[in-house]
Amino acid sequence: MESPSSASPIPTLDDHRVGRVMVAGLGHPAASDDAASVARETGTPTLVVFVGKRLTSDRRRKLDDLVKTLQGQSIGLIAIVGSFRVHLDDPKAEEAERLAVDLLQKAVPGARVIVFRPGHLDSSLKRWASLWPMFPRWLTTCVLPAAELFAAIDSERLERVNETFQPGPGRAPGRNGRAFTLLGENIAWREALRRHQDRTRSSAALEMAARVLSWLLLGQLIAIAIVALTKLHPAFRALHVTTLRPRSFRELISLCHARNIDRVRVVGYNNGVHHFGHRYPGKTIVSTVQCGRTLRNGEGHLRADAGATIRAAISGLAETNEELFVVPNYSYVSLGTAFFVPIHGSAVDYATVADTITRVVLYDPDRDRIISAGRDDPDFAENVYNLKSRIVVLRLELRTRPRSPYYVRRETVTDATAEQLLDALRDEKSANVEIRQGHAASRTVTIARYSTGNDSASGPAMELPRDALGRLWDILEENPITSFLMHALARHVAWHTEIFFNAEEFKTFWRTHADVPLRKIQLRYIRRDGMPHSPFRDEDRVSADLFLFRPDKKRFDAYTAAVLPNVRYNPGKHSN
């Protein structure tokens, strides 16, 4: 090991050096890859330390040696390269990162210390590339080009530190001590390895052997074993990655910053994937379900983290004898999802959950800021129901009301006209109204009017204004086996969508839909809200929740294209 150079404040160690950047690999194989892409002579003096997925005894010894050489050195930035395994509940990865941060912060108190958590670096794939035919297409993980990692470090070197990045109210956590996860593309191992194969004779022979083994299903068996082992040991979890579940807002933000937000899809309870079959090629799902504390915020309001489910909110409010204004049939939906997707029951005062949101706390990755916005603020209006927004919801405040028993009055109507149904849906004397038709060819509909008084009610009082089917869905969701079967059936057998008709479109639909193979139609009414990205921004609409079997989808598509070409769909409640 050389002595520190008098011409530079950066210590010269045994690994790699480019201008004002020192890369200390601690034996990590990827330490020198693409380091030359880091700016050489400009920016703050920087030390890059590769900790990786765990600190072996040899790496720990090298880290201790490094810490000793740093005393009195002038270093502006220390970039610690850890691993995305931190997000997979890998205690060794967490311990390695934490120890490196503690030691290096103490060694150079004046330096900014930033953690980078890359996915598998692509340079590490070359040795296994010839085995690509053996891997099944469904075994996926996160692969990051090493050049992207060093480009991110370089960007931090050149970033001018100013008040925008300091901790404080309304700001993202300060730059010092921040963690930035860089997942890269979520890709099948098969494809990632194929991209890095070379064309030597030995690799061609190995590729042929791997292809023969794939015919014997050896790769499939290995992949199945890997998935089984992920349940037992954290070391295997990075080999098959589809969904990450951050445990705090800080961890969520580390996944959703500007350099990584396009590599992830932030969801709540993840019904879009599990139930409706939505797919996000190349992206890793980030579910907020573990960011789900619910907090009371005074009478008439609920403050809840974005990952809290409607079911959890109902339970929490029951303890103080309050309830939500809007209760959907299926309550395993995260409240944060309701900011982007119209989620509704049959309430008259407030038709959707978003109608009851009074304030949101958001993270804007492009401005690297935390924003608190009320309903009248531009940040609220610009992002509510905006599925193209890059904003991440952290917390919400919602209106609540005193808890009441509900009574339902049901009426069966034969050969109802569209005008009759519209009048029923607009009934402001009821707390909730919904209309069901068993199938499109049926001549009868059932109108259910829910109220908090039992005048002309049928049946006993209900805790929540929803039907037996909704209660059944929640019961099925509580058991992992029945939940899997319910969602698998919906993805592969059924096709589900929701359409928002204006009055004229609804009249056309009701007059012409009898020959369409719809198996269930549920109607509700939603009032105009004026929000720029809302399906109901300009006028009141009838929500039609429609169910049919997948073989009938072509007929339904042909019908809507010919008769209702301009209707609006609920993008969050639409089967793929």
CATH of the domain at 137: 3.40.50
Q: What is the pLDDT of residue 3?
A: 35
Q: Do 334 and 415 reside in the same domain of the chain?
A: no
Q: Which pair of structure tokens corresponds to residue 337?
A: 């999802």
Q: Do 429 and 389 reside in the same domain of the chain?
A: no
Q: Do 334 and 455 reside in the same domain of the chain?
A: no
Which among 187, 202, 228 is the end of a domain? Answer: 187
Of the candidates 439, 144, 470, 178, the one whose C-alpha atom is nearest the C-alpha of residue 330 is 470
Q: Do 368 and 426 reside in the same domain of the chain?
A: no
Helix H or strand E segment including 21: strand 21-24
Q: Which residue has the tokens 């993840």?
A: 270
Residue 252: inside a domain: no
Q: Phi/psi class of residue 46: alpha, beta or left (left: φ > 0; alpha: ψ in -120 to 50)?
A: beta
Q: Which residue has the tokens 């927004």?
A: 389
E strand residue ranges, 367-440: 369-374, 392-402, 407-414, 432-437
Q: Do 171 and 102 reside in the same domain of the chain?
A: yes
Residue 274: inside a domain: no
Alpha helices in 247-309 (DSSP H): 249-255, 271-274
Local structure of residue 394 (DSSP, 8 states): E
Residue 244: inside a domain: no
| Pairing state between β 185-188 and 264-267 | unpaired
Residue 494 identity = A
CB 494 within 8 A of CB 549: yes
Residue 450: inside a domain: yes
The CATH code of the domain that includes 339 is 3.30.465.10
Residue 380: inside a domain: yes
Residue 153: inside a domain: yes
Q: Do 367 and 423 reside in the same domain of the chain?
A: no
Backbone angles phi, psi at 489, to 5 degrees: -60, -40
SS3 41: coil
Mind giving me the DSSP string for 179-215?
EEEE--EEEEHHHHHHHT----HHHHHHHHHHHHHHH
pLDDT tens sequence for the chain (576 residues): 333 333 344 443 444 444 577 888 776 766 655 555 555 556 678 889 999 898 888 889 989 988 888 877 788 889 999 999 999 999 999 999 999 999 999 988 888 899 999 999 998 888 888 888 999 999 999 999 988 998 898 888 877 443 333 333 344 455 667 899 999 999 999 999 998 888 777 788 888 888 898 898 998 999 999 999 988 888 899 999 999 999 999 999 999 999 999 999 999 999 898 888 899 999 999 999 999 888 877 789 999 999 999 999 999 998 888 989 888 888 999 999 999 999 987 666 788 999 999 999 999 999 999 999 999 999 999 999 999 999 999 999 999 988 888 888 889 999 999 999 999 999 888 888 899 999 999 999 999 888 887 665 566 777 777 777 777 888 888 999 999 999 998 889 999 999 999 999 999 999 999 999 999 999 999 999 999 999 999 999 999 999 999 999 999 999 999 999 999 999 888 888
| pLDDT tens digits along 109-143 | 888 899 999 999 998 888 888 888 999 999 999 99
Q: Do 395 and 412 reside in the same domain of the chain?
A: no
Domain that holds residue 545: 407-462+493-569
Measured between alpha carbons, how far is 572 from 387 in angstroms, rounded to an integer? 9
- Rounded to two decimals, the pTM is 0.88
Measured between alpha carbons, how far is 386 from 184 in angstroms, rounded to an integer? 25
Measured between alpha carbons, how far is 161 from 174 in angstroms, rounded to an integer? 10
Helices 480-492, 468-478: axis angle to 10 degrees equals: 120
Q: What is the pLDDT of residue 165?
A: 35
Q: Do 178 and 34 reside in the same domain of the chain?
A: yes
Q: What is the pLDDT of residue 12?
A: 39
Backbone angles phi, psi at 175, to 5 degrees: -60, -40
On the CB side of 479, CA atoms within 13 Å amount to: 8
SS3 468: helix
CB 93 within 8 A of CB 83: yes
Q: Do 139 and 34 reside in the same domain of the chain?
A: yes
Q: Do 397 and 412 reside in the same domain of the chain?
A: no
Which among 133, 162, 187 is the end of a domain? Answer: 187
Which among 142, 163, 187 is the end of a domain? Answer: 187
Count of structural domains, the chain: 3
Measured between alpha carbons, how far is 324 from 338 in angstroms, rounded to an integer? 13
Q: Phi/psi class of residue 530: alpha, beta or left (left: φ > 0; alpha: ψ in -120 to 50)?
A: left
Alpha helices in 49-143 (DSSP H): 57-69, 91-107
Of the candidates 236, 228, 311, the one whose C-alpha atom is nearest the C-alpha of residue 268 is 311
CA 377, chain centre distance (Å): 24
Q: Do 113 and 64 reside in the same domain of the chain?
A: yes
CB 342 within 8 A of CB 352: yes
- For the chain, give percent helix, strand, coil, nearest 5: 35, 25, 40
Residue 235: inside a domain: no
Residue 1: inside a domain: no
Measured between alpha carbons, how far is 114 from 46 in angstroms, rounded to an integer? 11
Q: Do 57 and 166 reside in the same domain of the chain?
A: yes
